[in-house]
Amino acid sequence: MGRSMFTVIMGTTEAPQQQRLPVGSKELPMRIMVIAGTSRDYVGLWRDVATFVVPDAGVQFPRLVEAVPLESMAAVMARISRRLDELKTSCAAIPPSSSDQSRRIAGQDALLLHEALREAVRHLPDSHDQRFRKWLAESDDAAKGIYDSLRSGSADGAVRHLNALQQLCTQCHTAYRN
C-alpha cells in the first residue's frame, strides 16, 4: 500500500503550483510553515519543526491539561529579570559594525522579554494598584520598542528603550520590592 500524499499549493492565484508530498516527509511541515507565512524571526519554531521526529505508533502521550496554574508575581518578575539580563548581554555583544546574526539574537531576546511582560500585564491580579499596572505596561512598551528598534537596525533606538526599561525597573523595584 502506498503512502498517503498531501497536496501543497503554492504560487499565486493566477499561477498556482501544486506539489504532492508524502505525509510524514520532512519537507511537508516546512512547506506548510512557508505557506502559512510564518516569520523567520521565530528561529526556535523553525528549528523545532525541522528537527521534529514523529513518535512511534505505540508511544503513550501525557494527558493534556486544559489550564496551567499561573505563577506567582514574584516568580514572573524573577523570570522577567533573567530575560532582561539575557537581553543586556546579547545587546552588549552587538559589535559596532553590527552583523545580522548578533542583531537577530538580541532581537529574539527582546521579543521574549516583550512577550513575558505582555503576559504579566494580561494575568496581573486585581490586587495590584494602578501605578504598578501603568509601570508594567510601560515596561512592556519599552521592551517592544527595543525589539522594533533592533529589527529596523536602530542601535540608538534600542539603547534608548533599554535605558527607559531599566529606569522603569529600578523605579518599580524601589516602590514595590526593596
- At 118-152, the pLDDT tens digits run 999 998 888 899 999 999 999 999 999 999 998 88
Which element (helix H / strand E) includes 25? none
Helix (H) or strand (E) segment spanning residue 6: strand 5-11
DSSP string, 22-46: ETT-SHHHHHHHHHHT--TT-HHHH
How far does CA 71 lie from the centroid of its chain?
19
Dihedral-angle region of residue 21 (phi above 0 means left; psi in -120 to 50 means alpha; beta otherwise): beta
- Give me Rg for the CA atoms of the chain: 21
Where is pLDDT greater, at 46 or 177? Answer: 46
pLDDT for 100-115, tens place per residue? 777 888 888 999 999 9
Whether 52 shows a pLDDT value over 70: the answer reads yes
- The CATH number of the structural domain formed by 73-177 is 1.20.120
- 79 and 102 in contact (C-beta within 8 Å)? no
Angle at 33 between CA 31 and CA 35, to 5 degrees: 70
Residue 99 has what pLDDT? 62
Q: Which residues, in sequence order, are CB contacts of 71 under 8 Å at separation 6+?
A: 79
106 touches 87 (CB < 8 A):
yes
- Cell numbers of 83, please? 530575560
Comma-separated ranges of CATH 1.20.120 domains in the chain: 73-177
For residues 149 and 64, the answer to whether their CB atoms sit within 8 Å is no
Cell 505508533, located at residue: 57
Find out whether 76 and 113 touch, Cβ atoms under 8 Å: no
d(CA 146, CA 163): 10
Question: Average pLDDT of 37-57?
Answer: 85
Confirm whether pTM is higher than 0.95. no
